[in-house]
Amino acid sequence: MNGFKTSLFIFSILFWGISPIFSQEKFEKEYRIESHEVPKKAFQLIEKWNFNTKIKWYAEESNDGKSFEAKLTYKGNKYSIEFDEKGTILDVEKTVKYSKLPKNNKESIESSLSKSFQKFKIKKIQIQFLGDENELFQAIFHQKSQPENTNYEIVIKGNKSDKYLMYEVLLDADFNIQKELPFSSINSFNLEF
């Protein structure tokens, strides 16, 4: 019996140690919630910022854990403000049209994506602002200022090895790929407002 327990222990370590390698596909489940289900700290921050527009609250379960999002349109721009389970602000994402980005940004994005994909088509792009509460407030309300920590979250249809898949790609401020996760198009509805 001792040999069996040792074998089971080794198998468990190998299985659980290797399993993250096989879970490289993006998992995201997003669902609408009521404002009373949101962490109090998150709700209070959105109230304090006083957008004077309709706020839609969502819970999101993903590879990174559970979070909450306030989605809204402000001054013609779509924003998603993400909070952790304690209500601490994580980031602000602003949906932008790829054609409206500065030429040098578009060239840098295309150069980075070309290193990883044979062919690709950009479906959606969001600028992801990171920083403290004050920096993120400035990014939204004084749209000319932008936090130093700015990423680009891009949804593409990309070709690798003669196979097209949907991917979510995260580029840092220097346009280096930080994350590249394939996902099924069924889950892509979660990315929309």
Q: What's the half-sphere exposure (Cβ side, CA atoms, 13 Å) at 178?
A: 12
Distance of CA 123 to CAs 53, 132, 158, 183, 184, Å? Answer: 27, 29, 10, 13, 14
- The confidence score (pLDDT) of residue 174 equals 94
Within 10 angstroms of residue 56's Cβ, the number of other Cβ atoms is: 14
Whole-number mean pLDDT of the chain? 84
Residue 144 binned pLDDT confidence (cut-offs 50, 70, 90): low
Residue 3 binned pLDDT confidence (cut-offs 50, 70, 90): low
| pLDDT surpasses 80 at 34 | yes
Instruction: Please give the average per-residue pLDDT across 28-32, as a whole number.
Output: 90
Which domains are present in the chain? 25-191 (3.10.450.360)
- The confidence score (pLDDT) of residue 139 equals 85
Instruction: Please give the average per-residue pLDDT across 19-35, as a whole number.
Output: 70
Instruction: Please give the average per-residue pLDDT across 126-147, as a whole number.
Output: 84
- The confidence score (pLDDT) of residue 187 equals 46
Q: Which of 91-95, 119-123, 164-168, 185-189 has the lowest mean pLDDT?
A: 185-189
Instruction: Please give the average per-residue pLDDT across 62-89, as a whole number.
Output: 94
CB environment 153-172: b (16+ within 10 A), e (fewer): bbbbebeeeeeeebbbbbbb
DSSP of the chain, one letter per residue?
A: -HHHHHHHHHHHHHHHHHHHHH--S--EEEEEE-GGGS-HHHHHHHHHHT--S--EEEEEEETTEEEEEEEEEETTEEEEEEE-TT--EEEEEEEE-GGGS-HHHHHHHHHHHHHH-SEEEEEEEEEEE-S-HHHHHHHHHSTT---S-EEEEEEEEEEETTEEEEEEEEE-TT--EEEEEEE-GGGGGGG--
Q: What is the pLDDT of residues 78-100, one digit of tens each?
A: 999 999 999 999 999 999 999 99
Residue 84, φ and ψ in degrees, nearest 5: -80, -175
